[in-house]
Structure 1
């Protein structure tokens, strides 16, 4: 496979001491072999760094970046991305697991796709517990493990605005050139994926792979468990980041149809602000709604 494109897997670790070795081994055990692995620890306050350093003794060619202060996911990823040489990039959380044929299927999809300007390929994921027990599939599947309702492919910009389709970020592979053109992740945000999907889908295509590619671990600190907590600083940061994402999307929109689609997401975010008693954020959304309407 030496003639196939290089894939850079950036594994981001923050307090994942129990899971990081399994995540790293899942990269090394891929059926696709032309891979470089970059591990970045974002100043974990558990024993993650020690676990990684011990693991690296057997794999001295793996690059390791250790932050002296906690930077957050977006800054840590961009920092590691500067060292990546691959044509394609995977952003792997250190508590998730790549299935053995994940990268092979992703690269094959990039190489065989008939879609022009393809930026991202993504697939399904099995959601598992801290103990590796099955919880559900990210997209519901039939008895043959095929997705019952296919998420969006091609031009998915409207789908990203109105939430009619979701991207399983942990199962995605991104084209390096697109990441560079978009200047990586927005470091002002508390999370990266929605903003990147919107910005990328404005001018590029996406393609869905109808296979289970990864195991996505769901723990108490997972992003999805933070949206509705009241008087929680992390919840406020996440929900305020969503406000910034919507504000940026308004600037990208070109038609009234796109504004109408974004209105649906804006109302969803306003509801979150109301339910978490973040009334200042709720009020900030009102001028954005007026702008979208008129």
Structure 2
């Protein structure tokens, strides 16, 4: 059974009585996950907190995913299933946005279709946010699930002062403070914050930048307990288009957030972001992604993100890569990498 989407006004009524066990909408995009999605859905089904809905949006699976999900729909009407509409771009971003549009909860939580939650996850998260209704975003710790073994250490990162502006700067410098599964978002605070459907990489970064940079600064509460697990799956990142997608997405990311990034307060942060992409992806993978790397450097040189000295350094790097001078004895890659990092991050 597939639920038909309707307008938010007609399809559901949002629970606004936050003191009376608010509904939590858990949104899961999926694609060809028949072999593993049951673990994710079971972890939702086993929640000690009962007032939830689990919205699963399929991205065009051609395996047995839908049949697996139908079993959960039959047994529990809190599970809801949609197919991504044909007029929406393919990808998890469109699925998440469609899930938000059809959600009824006062709070939103995002999961990938191979992540899992502890049984106490929703109960404890709701207890925290209802103890202080001014909390807009709760962040808890998450850990990796490696070879079906739950890791005992958190992957979260925190600034010295745990304020929303400092977390924003971490995202802008590509120092990821949390995976999106770690958050419980008040729905009213993300009404104007959607996932960018044309981004192939940095989707979560872009979404959280939007959330954290809203005009009315939100109240963020940080709690240090692991309650979700992000499955380490090489297929999530290792594919033939990984590098080209990263390089292309950086330009799109800048266009989306250009107003924010051109503010002097955040220029240095985004320069760190671009420097990491250059060092970790553009230089090591130049030979196989020459076109994309050169387009990225040309964009850097045209942008207003960098000073004349920084652009000179980038231009020199571009010339060195294209003339393959790094392969000549005496022209040291490591020295130039250190120099580049120093100049760009200044």
Deviation of 1:82 (Å): 1.6
Instruction: Report if the CA contact (8 A) 1:247-1:288 is conserved.
Output: no
The number of residue pairs the alignment matches comes to 278
Q: 1:50 aligns with which of 67, 73, 95?
A: 67
1:6 aligns with 2:23: yes
- Report matched runs for 1:127-166 at 5 Å: 127-129=144-146, 131-135=147-151, 137-139=153-155, 152-155=162-165, 156-164=167-175, 166=177
Q: 2:98 aligns with which of 70, 76, 79?
A: 79
1:213 aligns with 2:232: no
Deviation of 1:177 (Å): 1.7
Instruction: Report if the CA contact (8 A) 2:25-2:55 is conserved.
Output: yes
- Distance in structure 1 (CA, Å) of the matches to 2:277 and 2:32: 29
Q: Which residue of 2 aligns with 1:259?
A: 267
What are the Cα deviations for residues 79-111 of structure 1, in whole angstroms up to 9, with x where unaligned? 222210111111111100011111223223333
In structure 2, the CA distance between the partners of 1:148 and 1:172, relative to structure 1 (3 Å rule), is closer
1:195 aligns with 2:209: no
What are the Cα deviations for residues 120-144 of structure 1, in whole angstroms up to 9, with x where unaligned? 3222222113x4124563438xxxx
Compare CA radii of gyration and give the structure with the larger one.
Answer: 2
- What runs of 5+ residues in structure 2 fail to find an aligned partner? 1-17, 309-346
Q: Which has the higher contact order (CA 8 A, sep 6+)?
A: 1
Instruction: Report if the CA contact (8 A) 1:138-1:168 is conserved.
Output: no
Q: Which residue of 2 aligns with 1:143?
A: none
What do you get for the CA RMSD once the two structures are aligned?
2.9
Q: Which residue of 2 aligns with 1:170?
A: 181
As a proportion of its length, which structure holds more strand?
1
- What runs of 5+ residues in structure 1 fail to find an aligned partner? 141-146
TM-score, normalization: structure 1? 0.82
- Distance in structure 2 (CA, Å) of the matches to 1:293 and 1:113: 45
What are the Cα deviations for residues 253-290 of structure 1, in whole angstroms up to 9, with x where unaligned? 46423111211111112232332323234324423664
Q: 1:179 aligns with which of 182, 190, 197?
A: 190
In structure 2, the CA distance between the partners of 1:8 and 1:251, relative to structure 1 (3 Å rule), is same
Instruction: Report if the CA contact (8 A) 1:128-1:136 is conserved.
Output: no
Instruction: Report if the CA contact (8 A) 1:153-1:208 is conserved.
Output: no
